[in-house]
Chains A and B, each alone.
Chain A
């Protein structure tokens, strides 16, 4: 009986962990997108997209290391996706 209860407890905690994992994955994905978007907007004047005054991007540049990394990773993946898509539609 005691073993059964422990197993049920374990099972429930695994469930809870699974839910936690699923919910946090969504937030993490949202976080990555927001960081990527933020960096794109802030630095867009330096990359040619319509944007806030360029000095905002320049002033924040020293502190945007992690976001720049995310942006670069994202753009790398984006390239791959485009390539995949082009391949798919036989371009």
Chain B
């Protein structure tokens, strides 16, 4: 895999259109491209003028598309937890995560987690592609998705430290009172402790994302804005928030250019390209042409 592109921006600014545009352009150049939408409100099929489909489909030559169904990822994850829980506590027949699905799904943090879970699959399963293009949800959710690995890393670090201390104390007690003092279920060393092992597994997942999100060489963040105050303000908010995570916007795309709008360049938006307003119906050739223009001087494909 060469590069990953994340299209960010306020809802309705044209993230999906421009992500399709870049994907079509790259695939036309002969690169293998995987385009995924993790926005719960998908519209890639509309832009590509194909019938909606489930799963992955090669829409045009060299371009594979998926509109990720986050519910499927959450259900898969909860089923996994449920199976493991049954294995450990077979007597818990009344414990039913399925019934809790709707509550868990809407619990703050779960949607972001499902997005990460989906991203992990996309990045692992499509590492043979030359480029991966991600169409993201509007600002708030995207910022939470990108920030989640870093927040979680800190929690996991502290919890692992705490767990290690528990194991140390258990060993002290076992040393004096003998190992028989503890139930068979109670782990005394690191390797046997399933809790610590699970924390380490989660830590590895989060390290994987942090590494990808912070890779300045191959991960590119493209911010899409429109010629209106609101989207520019929101764009600045995204840019500022990402800087807090040490993530830099590679390029700002001023979509639907208007002659009446004066765009002020400043430190946050130092590198930007303008894209004209396209009239419906937008043809694929037109989208390819646009991407060939804005990628010029910025990316070497």
- By a beta-carbon cutoff of 8 Å, the part of chain A in contact with chain B is 20, 24, 27-28, 30-31, 34-35, 37-38, 41-42, 45, 52-56, 58-67
Contact = CB atoms under 8 A, between A and B. Distances in A.
Interface string B78-108: 1001001101110000000000000010011
Contact of A38 (B109, B156, B163): B163
B298 interface: no
Grouping DSSP codes into helix (H, G, I), strand (E, B) and loop, the A interface class, with mixed when no group exceeds half, is: helix
Given A30-B169, A42-B159, A52-B155, A60 B109 contact: no
Contacts of A60: 195, 198-199
B202 interface: yes
Interface stretch (B21-29, B133-141, B170-178, B270-278): B170-178
Contacts of B155: 52-53, 56
A34 B158 CA distance: 13
A59 B197 CA distance: 11
A44 to B, nearest CB: 11
B113 interface: yes
Residue from B77, B104, B173, B195 whose CB has the most chain A CB atoms within 10 Å: B195
Contacts, number: 87
14 contacts: A24-B176, A27-B169, A27-B172, A34-B162, A34-B165, A41-B159, A52-B152, A52-B155, A54-B104, A56-B156, A59-B202, A63-B194, A66-B185, A67-B195
B110 A62 contact: no
A52 B159 contact: yes
A56 B202 contact: yes
B282 interface: no
B189 to A, nearest CB: 15
A34 B169 contact: yes
Grouping DSSP codes into helix (H, G, I), strand (E, B) and loop, the B interface class, with mixed when no group exceeds half, is: helix
A54 B100 CA distance: 14
B85 A53 contact: no
- A-B complex: 6 closest residue pairs judged by Cβ atoms: A62-B84, A52-B155, A63-B194, A31-B169, A62-B85, A55-B113
B151 to A, nearest CB: 7
Given A53-B148, A53-B152, A58-B81, A65 B88 contact: yes
A58 B110 CA distance: 10
B162 A38 contact: yes
A27 B170 CA distance: 9
Contacts of B85: 61-62
A30 B172 CA distance: 12
A31 B185 CA distance: 16
